[in-house]
Chain A
Amino acid sequence: MEFFVQLLVNGLSIGFLYALSALGFVMIFKSSSVLNFAHGELLAIGAFFFLILAASAKVPIVLCFALTLLGCFALGFIIERLFLRPLIGEALIQVIMLTVGLAAMFKGLMLFIFGGNFFKYPSFLPAALSVTWGMINVPSAYVASFIIGLFFLGLFGFFFKYSSQGIYMRAVADHQTAALSLGVHVRRVFALSWAIAAVVCAVSGIVLGIMHGVNVHELSSIGLKVFPVVILGGLDSIGGAIVGGIIIGLLETFTGGYISGSLGEVIPYIILVFILLIKPYGLFGSVEIERV
């Protein structure tokens, strides 16, 4: 029983993380219908940026957070400007392959700089955060990541719902030409969606780092695990990304705990194939009907 509850807690927290990182992915997909294969590398960049600031430069933690988010916001802009902007007007397949190339590039670069080792953040969480509840013990890292994650989910929710930029982004996602004719600056929206996606990635990268420590290979493999999550939830649904993330996280930990660890690693992809077979647009995705 204790094992079960511990797995449940782990699964929920990992699933929560998947949800958070799927959010950034869905955002790029919604605004520009690009499948971003460099997602995991963006996570890793955020996490390592925070690591450098916190562990090597010894900047105060709050400032670290702010600087990382700011840096990743700028990075998102730069990526869009340098790599995505020249391909506007090209076929979508070229843009997607560009993100595959970017992924290999960033991963190689980060492995070159940091190597494949595990790094831990300096501990800065107060011990009071950890919750002990009978025999169940939830470490403070998990509680903190839950709080941070919830805060940012709420923040982005409000951003999309009420801020004018958020409304522009939803307008572009809905119908690009219509948004253009109503005076929305579509190119700026693309740039902004990459920047915000990079920020979301950085947040989830940092949260992941707090929970498990940071490692280039692991972070980039999480970037690929976003695919089962978004297919399960529906490619263009933010609510779906959250539900899908939690389901995938739970499935992965329970399979890993009860059957075998290596099967736990592939179970999300097996689920992915079945979802495509049974309910291809996912739980909450919008079904596309096109007529000529």
Chain B
Amino acid sequence: MRKLKFRPCGNFKERYEQDIAIFETDFGRVWVWVGLVLLLSSVPFIAGSYTLYIINSIGIAAIAAIGLNILIGYTGQISLGHAAFFGVGAYAAAILATKMGFPFWLSVLAAGGIAALVGMIFGIPSVRLKHLYLCIATLAGQFIIEYVLMNWEGLTNGPAGIILPRATLFGLDISGDQSFFWVVFVCLALMCWMAVNLIRSRYGRAFIAIRDNDLAAEGMGIPIFRYKLLSFGISSFYAGFAGGLWAYYTTSITPEPFTIFLSIQYIAMIIIGGLASIPGSVFGAIFIIILNETLSRITEYIMNTGILSGIALTVAPLREFVFGLAIVLFLIFEPRGLAEVWRVVRSSFRLWPFSY
């Protein structure tokens, strides 16, 4: 066995592979494995069912947020329809499972594929143009998809929604909070791994080149149209995959949650977590879901105190206000998000006590 590498006191990179390596030192690699094993082996046994529900929601939201970060953070194209593609994934999984009898793993994967296709249809007209036209086209996509989910009763069952069968994997029942935890987090780990490796491949570097200067990228021989569309497709795939998982997890879906407000929540996740950072997307998902739960708990608490129940109804929209405020404050004061905060904290530990 080779010797474990620790942090060198200087920059000793000699080859390109060293520069694009995910883990600079073996220390990080070891910690990621230890963390994963600890997470998967301890959390489902310690946490109660409500905590597990929140943790699972975080995992699902993080998958979708990683997808959005590939599009916004790495390719520099804004999507305002992420919630709609999440919804397409959820409905695709539900319809495939109930009408065609697809098994769990196949319908979730197919949900990602279908969402990617639908996303690319909306992407085609806009990615030919400069000036963030994708952002406007996805806004249109958001409203059109919401309309279709609500009104195409033959397929989506309209406002009544669809009830899914219990999720099974390899003959095991995985529909409980505890067993779904493993499914979600194994998927999240795989999706993270895919995203991190995508970014350092030629595709990822092409995305970053397009973000930084699309004219220069084209001049260097990157077919912009194809790569923008690919990035949008990948982003929608992540959204659809997360949507499929979510549909199985909640077991019944209606068109209501997939509004533009949810899209804004996803944007808030990646801005707060950190643009162009995969761990950042996960941090953002943790932050937003916990904020969301805290705010609705506060609303519930005020509602239950009786005298104040009138106020509680008017407190609900404050959630939207808080999200907006969080986006604005992070953009102004910490545009690189929680990932940057985390990096600063880590490096100050590493450099202690000589922090210069």
A interface residue numbers (CB < 8 A to B): 33, 35, 83, 86-87, 90-94, 96-98, 100-109, 111-112, 115, 224, 227-228, 231, 235, 262-263, 265-266, 269-270, 272-273, 276-277, 280, 288, 290, 292
The answer for the CA separation of A94 and B143 in the assembled complex, in Å, is 23
> Which residue in B137, B320, B326 is a CB contact (below 8 Å) of A273?
B137
- Minimum CB–CB distance from A213 to chain B (whole Å) comes to 19
Q: Which residues of B contact A273 (CB under 8 A)?
A: 122, 125, 137, 140-141, 144
A93 to B331, CA, bound (A): 11
What's the least CB distance linking A288 to chain B, in Å?
Answer: 7
Task: List the 8 closest pairs (A to B, CB-CB), nearest first.
Answer: A108-B321, A105-B324, A101-B327, A104-B324, A108-B320, A111-B317, A276-B125, A269-B140
A111 touches which one: B129, B271, B320 (CB < 8 A)? B320
Q: Give the residue of A106, A231, A262, A276 whose beta carbon is less than 8 angstroms from that of B147.
A: A262
How many A-B residue pairs lie within 8 Å, measured between CB atoms?
Answer: 140
> Which one of A227, A269, A292 contacts B216 once the chains associate, using CB atoms below 8 Å?
A292
Complex Cα distance, B128 from A235, in Å, reads 16
Partner of A100, one of B76, B140, B327, B332: B327
Name the distance in Å between B279's Cβ and chain A's nearest Cβ: 20
In the assembled complex, the Cα of A18 lies from the Cα of B146 at a distance in Å of 22
Cross-chain contact A227 with B328 (CB below 8 angstroms): no
Q: Are A227 and B324 in contact (CB under 8 A)?
A: no
- Residues of A with C-beta under 8 A to B130: 288, 290
Task: List 6 A-B pairs, Cβ < 8 Å.
Answer: A98-B328, A100-B264, A108-B324, A266-B146, A276-B136, A292-B216
Among B131, B132, B141: residue with most chain A CB under 10 A: B131
Residues of B contacting A288 in the complex (Cβ-Cβ under 8 angstroms): 130-131
Query: CB < 8 Å: which of A90, A103, A106, A108 contacts B335?
Result: A90
Q: In the complex the two chains form, is B144's CB within 8 Å of A227's CB? A: no
Nearest chain A CB to B333 CB, angstrom units: 9
Min CB–CB distance A20 → chain B (angstroms): 20
Cβ-defined contact, B135 with A35, below 8 A: yes
**A94-B335, A272-B136, A277-B125 provided; 20 other pairs, C-beta below 8 A?**
A35-B132, A35-B135, A93-B76, A93-B78, A94-B331, A97-B72, A97-B78, A97-B271, A101-B271, A105-B328, A106-B324, A111-B317, A224-B139, A227-B136, A227-B140, A231-B136, A235-B131, A266-B146, A269-B144, A276-B126
Residue of chain B at shortest CB distance from A269: B140
How far is B313's CA from A112's CA once the two chains are assembled, in angstroms?
9
Which residues of chain A are near B150, meaning CB under 8 Å?
A: 262
Contact partners of B314 in chain A: CB under 8 A:
111-112, 115
Given the complex of chains A and B, what is the CA–CA distance between A104 and B320 in angstroms?
Answer: 6
Counting CB contacts under 8 A, is B322 at the interface?
yes
Are A100 and B143 within 8 A (Cβ)? no
Q: Which residue of B lies closest to A110 (CB)?
A: B317
CB pair A33–B147 under 8 Å, yes or no, is: no
Q: Closest CB of chain A to B241's CB: distance in Å?
A: 24
Determine if B318 is an interface residue (Cβ-Cβ < 8 Å). Answer: yes
B267 within 8 A of A: yes
When A98-B328, A102-B324, A277-B125 are in contact, do A112 and B143 touch as well, CB less than 8 Å? Answer: no
Measured CA separation A188–B80 after assembly (Å):
31
Against A, the Cβ 8 Å flags (1 = close, 0 = not) of B247-289 are 0000000000000110010011001000000000000000000
Query: Which chain B residues lie closer than 8 Å to A266 at the CB level?
Result: 143-144, 146-147
Q: A262-B147, A273-B144, A292-B216 are in contact. Are A102 and B328 (CB under 8 A)?
A: yes
Interface residues of B, Cβ cutoff 8 Å to A: 72, 76, 78, 80, 122, 124-126, 128-133, 135-137, 139-141, 143-144, 146-147, 150-151, 215-216, 219, 260-261, 264, 267-268, 271, 314-315, 317-328, 331-332, 335
A288 to B322 CA separation, bound complex (whole angstroms): 39
Smallest beta-carbon distance A262→chain B, Å: 6
Question: A112 and B318 in contact (CB under 8 A), knowing A262-B151, A273-B125, A292-B215?
Answer: yes
Complex: how many Å from CA A163 to CA B91? 55
Task: Report whether A96 and B78 are in contact in the complex, using a CB–CB cutoff of 8 Å.
Answer: yes
For B124, give the chain A residue with the smallest CB separation.
Answer: A277
**Hey, which chain A residues are within 8 Å of B151, CB to CB?**
262-263
Q: CA of A27 to CA of B326 in the docked complex: distance in angstroms? A: 27
**Across the two chains, which residue of chain B brings its CB closest to A275?**
B125
Which residues of A lie under 8 Å from residue B80 when comparing CB positions? 100
Minimal beta-carbon separation of B275 from chain A (angstroms): 8
B71 to chain A, nearest CB (A): 11
Which of the listed residues B80, B261, B326, B332 has the most CB atoms from chain A within 10 Å of its own CB?
A: B332
A106 to B328, CA, bound (A): 11
Chain B residues with CB under 8 Å of A105's CB are 320-321, 324-325, 327-328
How far apart sit A61 and B146, CA to CA, in the bound complex (Å)? 40
B84 smallest CB distance to A (angstroms): 11
- Contacts of A104 on B, CB cut-off 8 Å? 261, 264, 268, 320-321, 323-324, 327
Known: A266-B144, A272-B140. A96 touches B327 (CB 8 A): no
A276 CB contacts on chain B under 8 angstroms: 125-126, 129, 133, 136-137
Which residues of A have CB within 8 Å of B144? 266, 269-270, 273
Q: Determine the chain B residues whose CB is within 8 A of the CB of A277 once the complex forms.
A: 124-125
Inter-chain contact A265/B139, CB cutoff 8 Å = no
Taken together as a complex, chains A and B put the C-alpha atoms of A227 and B129 apart, in Å, by: 16
| Cα-based distance from A103 to B267 in the complex (angstroms) | 13
